[in-house]
């Protein structure tokens, strides 16, 4: 049994901190440098844009301790779903003239594109009037956004979602104990019909966070709902945007982490469907500081949504020449392998894998080795016992491609080793501890 004697990886941590200012590289969770929740993913200008909420920790005079605390929104974009660009703050509560000052309630937003303009919808507490839904408008998906002087009249609630149908008509969905829908006028900032409650949905247990999309003539209304203890993601379908809807099933079960909320969006990008959602990866003991994730989503022939199993690996193809965070594994051996934070006092620094039994392994799928240019591997590791790891590729032509001897010590080291075989193309990467004792691994990279 290995005891944890490794020092924290100061050098590596410094690198992570620098790269997380604007450009981020991550599996699940997608964003490491800050807490993010309620992700609405949209495809604009050929990229994925994600509009999440931005959880922060309440502090004296700033928000309610032990509760959600949000004062602004960032927007993130990506082409490959692994590299994320943080475009910075697009709307802050101080930019909202009708908002209760210091309410710190900038909850789940949405953004849509119509007639050359981007409309960003967000809920917050309106002075003396409870929840209101605001709109901010821009010519670009990343802003600058200009906030409308008033919230949408007649809509009181949270978690706005706007759906634009093929005929150009727009609908606003939001929640307030129930889920409501109303038509929007062409100006996108006024209601064109009275909000109506969507029927045939669960009436017991919290229901919120509607997200609506259309595929092959089926209108999907998906929503988080507390059936038991915490929110799971469910959906209903209809043949028109306003229903009537029929409940169909569960998209994602309650999280084993116990995170009370889950909030999602569903998007097709380059022919593949994705579920964006959140959990509390970076804040295991406080579920109001959440982190957004993405996983693949599939439909059956008849349009039924297959249940999504949350993964750490997430989505996208990893470049072998980048640091591969194998702690975001796609599979792990049932014994002798575990994951822990690099620094429990600063979870944003990420995780490490600990292999503490002979033949314990971890698998990280979808690694692109390119056209056979890599010749060596570097492993950032620490081993208080010393020991050897085998690096294997699976898939066509799969084999062990390197044996890396990690020296005994308490310092993290970047250990280089030549490859015995030059891989090319797409493979799963498997790292196996072949000794007695144990090793901690932060990342693996091929050169
Ligand atoms: O983020 C605050 C609230 O928690 C959202 O508005 C809900 O959907 C839930 O995720």
Residues 326, 350: contact at Cβ < 8 Å? Answer: no
Judge if the beta carbon of residue 158 lies within 6 A of ligand 1.
yes
37 CA: nearest ligand 1 atom: 1
| Catalytic residue (one of 27, 38, 231, 442) | 38
Query: Among 3-12, 26-35, 58-67, whose mean pLDDT is lowest?
Result: 3-12
Residue 21 has pLDDT above 50, yes or no: no
Judge if the beta carbon of residue 374 lies within 6 A of ligand 1.
no
For ligand 1, atom 8, name the residue with the nearest CA: 209
CA of 405 to the centre of ligand 1 (A): 47
Predicted local confidence at residue 4, as pLDDT? 60
For residue range 344-390, list pLDDT tens digits in order: 999 999 999 999 999 999 999 999 999 999 999 999 999 999 999 99
Domain 318-446 indexed as CATH 2.60.120.260: yes
- The CATH architecture one would assign to domain 27-297 is 5 Propeller (2.115)
Residue 54: how many CA atoms within 13 Å on its side-chain side?
Answer: 19
Atom of ligand 1 at shortest distance to CA of 108? 6
Catalytic annotation present for 190: no
In the residue annotation, 327 being an active-site residue is answered as no
Residue 5 pLDDT grade (very low, low, confident, very high; cuts 50, 70, 90): confident
Task: Please state which of the ranges 272-286, 320-334, 386-400, 413-427 shows the lowest mean pLDDT.
Answer: 386-400
Residue 110 in contact with ligand 1 by CB distance below 6 A = no
The reported pTM is 0.95
Residue of 37, 234, 276 best suited for mutating to test ligand 1, as the one with most atoms within 8 Å of CB: 37
List pLDDT tens digits, range 111-137: 999 999 999 999 999 998 899 999 999
Active-site pick, 27, 71, 110, 208: 208
Which has more pLDDT, 324 or 395? 324
Domain boundaries, the chain: 27-297, 318-446
User: Average model confidence (pLDDT) for the chain?
Assistant: 94
Confidence of residue 17 (pLDDT cuts 50, 70, 90): very low
Which residue has a Cα nearest atom 1 of ligand 1?
Answer: 107
pLDDT tens by residue, 71-98: 999 999 999 998 999 999 999 999 999 9
């Amino acid at each position: 049994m290995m005891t944890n004697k490794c020092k924290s990886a100061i050098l590596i941590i410094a690198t992570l901190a620098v790269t997380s200012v604007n450009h981020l590289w991550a599996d699940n969770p997608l964003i490491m440098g800050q807490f993010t929740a309620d992700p609405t993913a949209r495809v604009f200008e050929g990229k994925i844009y994600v509009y999440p909420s931005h959880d922060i920790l309440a502090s004296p005079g700033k928000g309610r301790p032990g509760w959600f605390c949000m004062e602004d929104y960032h927007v993130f974009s990506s082409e490959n779903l692994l590299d994320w660009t943080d475009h910075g703050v697009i709307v802050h509560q101080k930019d909202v003239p009708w908002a209760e000052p210091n309410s710190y309630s900038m909850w789940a937003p949405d953004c849509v594109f119509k007639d050359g303009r981007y409309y960003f919808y967000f809920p917050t507490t309106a002075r003396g009037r409870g929840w209101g839904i605001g709109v901010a408008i821009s010519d670009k998906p990343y802003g600058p956004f200009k906030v409308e002087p008033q919230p949408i009249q007649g809509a009181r609630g949270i978690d706005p979602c706007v759906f634009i149908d093929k005929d150009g008509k727009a609908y606003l969905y939001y929640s307030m104990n129930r889920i409501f829908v109303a038509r929007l006028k062409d100006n996108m900032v006024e209601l064109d019909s009275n909000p109506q409650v969507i029927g045939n949905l669960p009436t017991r247990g919290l229901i919120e966070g509607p997200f609506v999309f259309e595929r092959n003539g089926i209108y999907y209304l998906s929503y988080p709902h507390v059936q038991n203890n915490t929110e799971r993601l469910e959906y209903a379908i209809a043949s028109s945007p306003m229903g009537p809807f029929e409940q169909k099933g569960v998209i994602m079960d309650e999280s084993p982490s116990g995170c009370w909320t889950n909030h999602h969006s569903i998007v097709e990008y380059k022919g593949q469907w994705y579920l964006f959602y959140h959990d509390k990866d970076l804040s295991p003991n406080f579920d109001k500081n959440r982190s957004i994730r993405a996983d693949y989503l599939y439909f059956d022939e008849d349009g039924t949504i297959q249940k999504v199993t949350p993964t750490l690996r997430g989505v996208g193809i990893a470049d072998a020449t980048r640091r591969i965070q194998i702690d975001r594994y796609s599979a792990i051996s049932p014994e002798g392998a575990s994951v822990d934070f690099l620094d429990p006092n600063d979870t944003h620094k990420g995780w490490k894998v600990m292999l503490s039994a002979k033949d314990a392994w971890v698998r990280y799928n979808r690694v692109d080795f390119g056209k056979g240019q890599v010749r060596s591997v570097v492993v950032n590791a620490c081993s208080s016992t010393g020991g050897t790891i085998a690096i294997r590729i699976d898939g066509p032509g799969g084999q062990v491609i390197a044996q890396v001897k990690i020296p005994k010590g308490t310092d993290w080291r970047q250990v280089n080793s030549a490859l015995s075989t030059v891989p090319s193309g797409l493979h799963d990467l498997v790292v196996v501890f072949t000794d007695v004792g144990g090793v901690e691994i932060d990342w693996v990279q091929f050169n």
